[in-house]
Structure 1
Amino acid sequence: MRQLVVAPCQPVNCYRETFVESVALARDRGVRMHTHVGEGESPVIEARHGMRTVDYCTEIGFCGPDAFYAHCWELTHDELRKMAASGTGVAHCPEPVYLVGAEITDIPAMSAFGLNVGLGCDGAASNDNSNLMHCIHSAYMLQCLAASTRRHPVPPPADFLGYATTGGAALLGRRDIGRLAPGMAADLFAIDTRRMDYVGTRHDPLSLLAKVGIGAPTDMTMINGRIVWAKGEFPGLDEARLFAQAEAALATVEF
C-alpha cells in the first residue's frame, strides 16, 4: 500500500547536485525516480546548461525504465523518441494544460513512439479538484480538440482508461495493480449505468469514461479488497465530522 519514489521537483528549480544525488540514491535503493519536465522550462535550462531539459536529464542519468516525467507538453518529437528509446515514461496531467494555456500534450505522438503513458491530476496548485476520473475525460477531449493539428491520430477512448490504470501501474513498476485479474490486488470502482445519463452508452463501457465522462460519485469503490465507498458514504467514517474538522483547520490558515 506504500511505495517510495525519489522525486526532486524540477530541473529548472533544483541544483544539478540534487538530481545527481537523486539518481545515486534511487539506483542504490532500487526505487523509481520522478520529476516534472517539459512545462516551458527548456529555454531556461538551455541558457543555463547549453541543452534542453530532456538531454540535461539524460546526461545526468535521470532517465530510463525506472524514471517517469510529469507533463512533457512542450517536448519535440525527437525528444519523445529519445524518451521512448530509454524507456522513460510520462505521467500525463491534462487539467493543468487548461490553467496554463500552453501547448496540448502530444499524446498521439507518445503513443505512436511507444512511450509508456500514465495519467495524473497534478497537485492542488495546478488542479483545484484533483479528480482523476474527470482527468480521463479531459485528457481525451483535449486530444480531440487538437487532432486536426497533429500528425498522429488520437488514441481510442479506451486507451485513456488504460493510461489511468495499467499505464500508471507500469510507471511505478507494479505488477500487482492496474487491472482486474486473478492474483492482482482488488482495486476497482463500480458504476450502475442503468440511469438516464448513460442511455446510448452501455454498448461500449470501456469508452464511457473518456467520451461521456462520469459526473457523479461511483456507486462502489474497493481498495485492496476492502470496500471504502458504497451507497453514497464511506463505511466507518463520519464524513460530516471530518468535513467540519477540515473546515475548522482551514479557517486557521492565513492567505
Structure 2
Amino acid sequence: MTTVLDGGAVATVDATGTEHLRGHVVIDGGVIAAVGDGPAPAIEGATRIDASGLLVTPGFVNSHHHLYQWITRGYATDSTLFGWLTTLYPIWARLTPELVHDAAAANLAWLALTGCTTSMDHHYVFPHGAGDLLEAEIVAAAQVGVRFHPTRGSMNLGQSQGGLPPDSVVESHDAILTATAEAIDRWHDPGPDSMLRVAVAPCSPFSVTADLMRDSAALGREKGVRLHTHLAETDDEEEFCRATYGRTPTEYAEDLGWLGPDVWMAHCVHLSPDAVGRFAATGTAVAHCPTSNGRLGAGIAPVRAMLDAGVPVGLGVDGSASNESARMVDELHQALLVARYAGGPLALSARESLRMATMGGARCLGREGEIGSIEVGKQADLALWRVADLPGAGIEDPVCTLVFGAPTLEALFVGGRQVVADGELRTADAAALAARAAAASATIAGR
C-alpha cells in the first residue's frame, strides 16, 4: 500500500536539517519512498492524505521509561528519588503479569497519542514468583502497534546487603543472567524493520552488585545487544558511590565496562566536565528526562555541554510514577526550558530539542540508520502535528509551534501502519485501556 502525505510542512531531521514549508512524503511498503518540496508526484492507486496545516516530523523515540509505573502515579510527590523509591518498592512488589500488561498497554497508547513511535522500557522489578512480566508488556506493545525495545532489568543488591530495594524484589546473580539470556534468545529481532529488540539493563549502582554489572555487560556484548542503566541521577547516588566504591558513578561504571558505543545511560544529571569528556570519548549515549528530573528535584542535566562534546543525547519520559503526564511531546518543551534555566537563551534551540527526541533517541537505541529522520529507505515512522488550528495559528515557524507551543497530534504512522488517525488511537480502545489501568491501580494499591 502506498500513502502520500501532501501539502504539509516537513521537518526531516536529516544530517543537514532539511525542511520544506510545503512538501510531501511518500510511504511505500512500510518505508519512506520519497520526500521533497512542493506537491507529491501522481501515484496511481495511492492513498492521499491532505497535510495542509500540519507539520510532519519523524516519530519520537522514547529512550527511557518504566511502563509498569503507570498504575502507581501520584505517590510520594514531595520526595527525592531515594524517598520516592522507598515508598514505592513495597507496592511494586505486588506486580503480576496482568497488572504489568494493563499498565503497559495504557502507557504505550498514551505515548503513541503524544507522538511516540518507538519506546524502550526499563523493567527491573521481578517479585519472587510473579510470572513472566516481560512477556506481558511485549504483548501490550504488539497490541498498541509501537516499535518496542524492552530491557531485561535486574536488582540483586537488597536491603540485607546494603542496597536500597527490599529483598522481596531482588533476584540472585545467576537467575538474572539466565533470565536475561533467555529473554534475548526468545524475543530479540535485529532486523532493520524490527518491532522488538531487547537490551540488558541492571537497575543502578545502588541496587546491583559490581559482579552483576560486569557480567551483564559481558552477556550483552556476547549476545550483540545494547546495555542500559541509570547513572548519576542524584546527589544521593554520588555520595553512595563515593562511600561504597570510592569512585564517582562515572568512574565506577567505566571500571566495570559500562562506557562504550553500545551503552546508553538514563539521566546523567550530575556529570562533571571530566565525565562528559569520558562519555564523548567512548561514544556512550544519554537519555535525558527533564520532566522526571524536575518532578523529583534531581537537578538539571548538562545537556549543552554533552551536545557540544559530541555525546549522543535522546529524550525520555521516564517512569510515569515520576512524570504523571507522560506526554512524549512535552519532553521537547521541558528540555528546552530547563536548558535555558541553566544556561540562558542560547543553551538549546527548538530544532535541537526535536533532534534529541528523534535522531538522538534513535542513536541511544542503535537505530539511527533505520528510524529517527525522514529519509528515503528509512522506516515510515511519522507524526503529523496540527500547527495551524487555534493554539498554533499565527506562529510563523511550524517547528517552534511544536516545541514552544501547544501542538496536538493528528496522525501517527509506525512502519507505514496508521496507529493514530484524526487524533484518535486506531489500534485499541482507549477508553477500555483507561478502565483496565484504573482497576489495576486500585488492585496494586490494595483497594
Q: Which has the higher strand share?
A: 2
Work out whether 1:170 is the aligned partner of 2:363: yes
> Which residue of the partner structure matches residue 247 of structure 2?
51
302, 318, 322: which one pairs with 1:106? 302
Q: 1:83 to 1:233 in 2, by over 3 A?
A: same
1:1-255 → structure 2 map (5 Å cutoff): 1-40=195-234, 41-148=237-344, 153-174=346-367, 175-201=369-395, 203-214=396-407, 216=408, 218-255=409-446
Cα offsets for 1:52-73 (capped at 9, x unmatched): 0101111111110000111011
TM-score by length of 1: 0.92
Q: Distance in 2 between matches of 1:37 and 1:13?
A: 12
Structure 1 unpaired stretches of 5+: none
Q: CA deviation at 1:100?
A: 1.9
Structure 2 unpaired stretches of 5+: 1-194
Q: CA deviation at 1:236?
A: 5.0
28-37 or 238-247, larger mean C-alpha shift: 238-247
After the TM superposition, which parts of structure 1 deviate over 4 Å for at least 4 consecutive aligned residues? none
Cα offsets for 1:100-158 (capped at 9, x unmatched): 2232111111111111101101112221122111111111011111224xxx9413210
Q: 1:236 to 1:69 in 2, by over 3 A?
A: closer
Instruction: Read off the aligned partner of 2:359 and give its amino acid letter.
Output: T
SS of match in other structure, 2:301:
coil
> Which residue of the partner structure matches residue 24 of structure 2?
none
Q: Distance in 2 between matches of 1:177 and 1:85?
A: 24
SS of match in other structure, 1:110:
helix
Q: 1:192 to 1:213 in 2, by over 3 A?
A: closer
Structure of higher CA gyration radius: 2
> Percent identity at matched positions?
37
Answer whether contact 1:111 1:155 (CA < 8 A) is retained.
Answer: no
Q: CA deviation at 1:196?
A: 2.5
Answer whether contact 2:391 2:406 (CA < 8 A) is retained.
Answer: no
SS of match in other structure, 1:161:
helix
CA RMSD of aligned residues (A): 1.7
Q: 1:106 to 1:239 in 2, by over 3 A?
A: same
